[in-house]
Amino acid sequence: MGNWNTFTKKGIVALLAAFLLVSLQGPLPSYAAEVNAEVPKVIEKTSPSVVAIIGKPSSDSDRTLDKNRFNLAHGTGVIVESNGVIVTNAHVVKDMKNIVVVTSNGTTYNGHATNIDEESDLALVKIDATGLSPAKFASSSDIKVGETVAAIGTPISFALRNSVTVGIVSGLDRSVNSQYQLIQTDAAINPGNSGGALINMNGEVIGINTMKYADFGVENLGFAIPVDTVKYVLKHFQLYGKVKRPYLGLELEESWEAVVGLPSSTGLRVAYVDPVSPAAGAGIQQDDLFVSIGTSKVKTLVDYNEAIKKYLPGETIEITIQSGNATKSKSVTLGEAQQQETKHTQDAEGSYLDADRGKTKIGDSHYGWSMKYPAGLVKGHQSDDGDSVSFVDAKGDFSLTIKVESNQSDELSPSALLNRLVSDDEDDYSGAASTILERQYVKREGNPYAKIVGRSGDDGYIQTRGYLHQGSLYTVQLFVSKEHYNNNFKQNSYNDLLDSFKLSFNDKDESLKDISVYSGGNTTYTNEYGLSFDLPSNWQQGGYTGGSSFFNDDYSQMLQVGVTSASSGDTLGAWVDRQRKQFEDSYAPKYRSMEEPEELTLAGVPALKLTYASTLGNKWSAGYSLFFIKDKYKYVVDVSYPQEEEGATLEDLLKTLTATIKVDKDSMDQELGFIQDLDELMDPNRTVTYKNEKFKYTLQIPEIWTISNSYDSKDQVNKTFLFTGGYLSVGAETKTTYEEMVKEEDAAQKKSQDNDNDYTFTDAEISLFGDLKAKKYEISYASAKIPYKETIYIFNQNNISYTATLRIDDAVRTETNQARLNKAFESFKFLDGVKK
């Protein structure tokens, strides 16, 4: 749609080799002005086959973007059938509504996209016409590096349709930001040329222009989709209505040489295999190397795509792989890749290219205001809830801003309202007037207002009007440049526009355009992994966690997002089972509850919802997790809240999430790689060594209890190792004897028991670590808040008295947690060699 296409870093690096080849293979484009006299004849012959395409862009990414009559997109197309079938780029028409096609002779037709294939960036547009001039396609074998070519298209502006640029074929088989090979040309290709024809001097189409590399100091670097790929896609459109692509079910990774554009000596590495796929069924495994598909060698992803496109789903092919030191041949029956179907829709306003045809007024139905809508008024930025909106004149003569502030007093006096407007201007420095020229309260029937006119430096003039209405302050501010302000005719038109502002909205008036974006207070959030969802507007994002956490206004409810890569062979069910076991290992049955996983659909793929609750003994915390896998990434959305808050509000939150969760592959950060799920690697029983040189002991501590680098703290008198709901603590004394420590602990335990009937303990003299004398205390505290059990050991070795405390809340006293705590204490060793 006239977008200026650029490349990923990978594409930029790949271009290094392309630049070298261009300098060796073809002359510099300076000869273009001297091309032979055949060019005009070729253009005259071919131009009738090239059309200009214009329409209205459509995107749900920002609800505040206005679909005004000047917000248009354009591109180019090539006629392939005389009855009005036109090929163009998929990116031209993918998000385009109310398409209009203009032929080279100026005839206008309404059109619509019938087929879209984003993988090849090709699409078909149909218009109701007959007797058109279809283009003639060249044979790919006839395309030569260095031959003269011309690009016909609609660059920059729709007024420049059927513009011609001339150059040469700079290179073939380019692997640049595309699934398939591309033609490189130095014929100028600019925004709007997309979808147009690249022709040879026989008047034949050799490619469909698709992109230009744009950067400072880089010129004449454009690319086109070769005719072979165009014919392949058109044939599939004709036979199947879509491109039927084979599916193997694996993720492939290029070698370093292939990434930077060097000839690769190795094949493609298998980075991931879908466990339920043709590749898995044929025994292809992670880290295998692709050598060939049929007779085609494959060393890059483009090689792979070019080779696989020769086959149809259901066909059986031979794939040669290298597995370890062995080269193997695998027979694979191809599946079919699933792709999202694109459906054509018209705007609610109808099929007109002018989105605002018949609209003479504009307003906001939620905030209840309206005013005149001149043809040149263009909506700019609008806040998420629509309480602030700006307009500009299409010719740049003026700008207008309307703001609505709720919870205001209707009892402000005229003087107070005028002062309020001045203070608001000063707070918003960008809209402040340096010199006040006029200040008055206008007693207009039905709509009285405060008015201030001021000079804004040397730039222009600002008129601000303030209206109080039903507890809200409506501020209308007009900025006019100095030259236009002094034009009496224009000044009258500006005042007429301001005078038309009304504190009412007539929803039965068909000439009134509603720009309200208020959606019940929801805000859309999107992250780098392509995940987006809506939350109530009173929720806020937790910046300290990198934007992965969100909270409601009183912080009682929280949402967290987790994104990791799906490891080869992992499944949704296996992933959720691991999470269930982890939860069950963390809480005792009495203190937890968990429902069976519920099947649902999120982002167009199968998902599971896991609902759970837990407590440490006082209040219950509840929540649910939404799990799904899409585009090789695992997504989990965790929502937690106090159990007593369950009700309609949380049900509405769940409905909002399940209805709005989406994953857009195009909006993912292009530099994303493999993100390991740490839970898959973590061994909960793995231990690290803590050594205290000064007090001569070591412990083997579970790695999951604390961050491993915390064990670098040396020779602490007291060391505590925490886990959820408990801890192991070791203290050491050199100045207090064993007997003194036992005496002090006896007194402390008896005092606690005397003061609280819920606190009980037993004590006994035991032997530890063989025949070491020790005192053991077992405490049980049945508190109404958080009941727990505690075991204290006091012992002495080498004139050092030790106190070890093992504490665990009843809520987390599972067999797993208790065994882990006991094992950690039992790992205690003295550095002098005394065996435990």
Annotated catalytic residues are 91, 121, 194
Decide the pairing of beta strands 296-297 and 289-293: antiparallel
Residue 695 has φ and ψ, to the nearest 5°, of -105, 10
| Whether 208 contacts 189, CB under 8 Å | no
| Whether 146 contacts 193, CB under 8 Å | no
Tell me the residue length of the chain: 836
Q: What are the tokens at 92?
A: 């031209």
Distance CA 176, CA 39 (A): 29
What lies within 8 Å, CB to CB, of 17 at 6+ separation is 261, 262
Distance CA 490, CA 275 (A): 70
Q: What are the tokens at 204?
A: 């034949």
| Whether 137 contacts 227, CB under 8 Å | yes
What lies within 8 Å, CB to CB, of 748 at 6+ separation is none
Quote the DSSP letter at residue 446. S
What lies within 8 Å, CB to CB, of 436 at 6+ separation is 422, 452, 453, 454
Q: What are the tokens at 82?
A: 């005389």
| Contacts of range 433-436, beta carbons closer than 8 Å, 24 or more positions apart | 433/461, 433/462, 433/464
Please provide the DSSP assignment of 614-660 as one string: EESSSSEEEEEEEEEEETTEEEEEEEEEEGGG-SHHHHHHHHHHHHH
Residue 380 has φ and ψ, to the nearest 5°, of -100, -120
Distance CA 460, CA 578 (A): 66
Query: Helix, strand, coil: what percent of the chain each, to 5?
Result: 25, 40, 40
323 - beta bridge partners? Answer: 326
* Burial (CB count within 10 angstroms: exposed 0-12, middle 13-18, buried 19+), residue 255: middle
What lies within 8 Å, CB to CB, of 652 at 6+ separation is none
Query: How crowded is residue 790: how many other Cβ atoms within 10 Å of its Cβ?
Result: 17
Distance CA 544, CA 21 (A): 49
Tokens 């002098």 belong to which residue? 832
Tokens 């790929």 belong to which residue? 229
Cα angle: 165, vertex 8, 177; to 5 degrees: 60
Quote the DSSP letter at residue 178. S
Distance CA 480, CA 398 (A): 5
Half-sphere CA count of 661, side-chain side, radius 13 A: 23
Distance CA 180, CA 232 (A): 12
What lies within 8 Å, CB to CB, of 427 at 6+ separation is none
Alpha-carbon distances of 131 from 84, 85, 88, 124, rounded to whole Å: 8, 11, 19, 18
Distance CA 811, CA 590 (A): 7
Residue 459: name the closest of 481, 437, 435, 436 by CA.
Answer: 481
Tokens 């080799």 belong to which residue? 17
Distance CA 734, CA 747 (A): 21
Half-sphere CA count of 146, side-chain side, radius 13 A: 6
Distance CA 770, CA 791 (A): 19
